[in-house]
Amino acid sequence: MGRPAVIAGIGMTCFGKFMDRNIKQLAGEAINDALKDAAIEGSDLQAAYMGNAAASVIAGQVCVPGQIILRDLGIGKIPVLNLENACASAATAFNQAVKMIELGAYDIVLACGYEKLYSEDKAKTFSVFTGAVDVTNMEGLMSTLGERMAALGVSMDSQGAGSKRSLFMDIYAAWSLEHMQKYGTTQEQFAAVAAKNSFHGSLNPRAQYREPLTVSDVLAAPEICYPLTLPMCSPIGDGAAAVVLMSEAKARELGVSQPVKVESTVLMSGFDYDDSTAETVTEVAAIAAYEAAGIGPEDVDVVELHDASAPSEIFCYEYLGLCPQGEGGAFVEAGHSRLGGKLPVNTSGGLLRKGHPIGATGIGQIFELTEQLRGRCGERQVEGARVALAENGGGFVQADAAAMVVSVLSI
């Protein structure tokens, strides 16, 4: 790593359904709040990294969405990078902005993630997720998923995938069944994740859903794709989140209040591996992020991870080294990942309750962790939090996530 980068300001909209707001309005709110939090003007920015995944599909806005958003705020001239990387779009924008500061190219940079997924045409929304796989091999993907499900004794409703629900729920369902068969993980343990995150989300004024749920509530909800019920699946959403990053020296010069240091941020892509022996892209990225930060999982105080489904959170406990392989279900069941537990996870409510406007999610995680490290989370505050980790993945190619970002922050 070169020069250290710090988070100087953050901003985030509520996540939810905003049919009357466009991406300029959502992103503008988050950016203005981040600039205000950093106590700078838009004219102080030297570059902007703008993450989005679905504007071209939902709004028909292609090629220059970032420039359009920023010009509406009176920001021009500077380099603007439009980044699309599935559900990791915002995290990728954050990663690239940090890297440019570390390399010495800039001293003050904006990273923003923004999204609108709600549409009067639901087929448009579902097509965003269907397009996050290899569409040239859709028949092969569906055949492989069907075979995996059949081997586990479950038939797949292939007609519903991508039309009545996100195709990714079928992918998560297959992984979930395999985890259940291999490690004895239960549907009740998956439900415990959704219940825990509903409690956390009930304490977050920016969360899309704030109603607390019990394990029984989650299990009694409508089934989406066994073993997943509705609260075990992240909702679609609209929203934006932004962060102003600075070199450590510039933040000191400007007298930034409560800077949060970026200890490491690692961006990786999925790769071909032997299912029986190799680590997943999440594991490889996590190891690299820990090594770059000079810490281990035992040093982390709070985590925001990509719970696009409740089982995904359990898988990530294991991939991130928060517990041994196969013990993720027991980890959540014991209350370890709940506020007050030994390592609170998804204190924001996670994707399941805070919401998942995919192009904004990664920086939404950074917003929550920065608030935690600054001690500004009120009822959901993790006492004494000093080291935080964010994990945000996206897309699916062959057998794993297509894009993965793991970042470590500290005060």
Active site residues: 87, 356
SS3 content of the chain, % helix, strand, coil (to 5): 40, 20, 40
Q: How far apart (Å, rounded) are the C-alpha atoms in residues 11 and 27?
A: 9
Position 314: which residue type?
I
Per the CB < 8 A criterion, the answer to whether 66 and 75 are in contact is: no
Residue 134's nearest CA partner among 107, 167, 102 is 167
Would you state the structure tokens that stand for residue 216, as one six-digit string?
């029984």
Q: How far apart (Å, rounded) are the C-alpha atoms in residues 239 and 113?
A: 9
Q: Within 13 Å, how many C-alpha atoms sit on residue 87's CB side?
A: 28
What is the layout of strands, in order, in the sheet containing 5-12? 80-83, 47-51, 108-115, 239-247, 5-12, 260-269, 400-410, 387-397, 302-304
Pairing outcome for strands 239-247 and 80-83: unpaired
Helical axes 361-374 vs 89-102, angle rounded to 10°:
60
Pairing outcome for strands 223-225 and 228-229: antiparallel
